[in-house]
Amino acid sequence: MTIKVTLTEEEILSTPNDSELGELVRNKFWQARRDQEGPQYDDEHFGLTIGEDGLVTSVNRPDEYDTCVMCGKKTPYLRSTHIDLRFNYIQGMGQICVDESTCGK
């Protein structure tokens, strides 16, 4: 894998010392590598999009629906939905089916 990092003349001249210039190059390298590889997701993590200034510009969450901890059925709530906005969420336990009468257990 080859990654090319491009610096403008303005970036070089506006960077006060070699240490900060090296940091700028390293940050541009890691951003280019993240852009090339794309977001990495699994069940418990999410991706971040980081701007050239090193600040997070967006959070990329997989849109997965939470499941009932009792029966395992999908619920109408995304995993990213805050628990204060859910019905039948029990702290320390998890999400339960919205209608207990249709819960599989």
Mean pLDDT of the chain: 83
Q: Which residues pair with 60 in a beta bridge?
A: 47
Whether the Cβ atoms of residue 34 and residue 57 lie closer than 8 Å to each other:
no
Residue 13 is predicted with a pLDDT of: 92
Amino acid letter, 24: L
Rounded CA-CA distance 92/83 in Å is 11
The token pair that represents 66 in the structure block:
């939470």
Query: Within 10 Å of residue 96's Cβ, how many Cβ atoms?
Result: 19
In this predicted structure, the answer to whether residue 39 has a pLDDT above a threshold of 80 is: no
Question: Could you report the per-residue pLDDT of 51-93, keeping only the tens digit for each?
Answer: 888 888 877 766 688 889 988 888 888 887 888 898 889 888 9
In this predicted structure, the answer to whether residue 9 has a pLDDT above a threshold of 90 is: yes
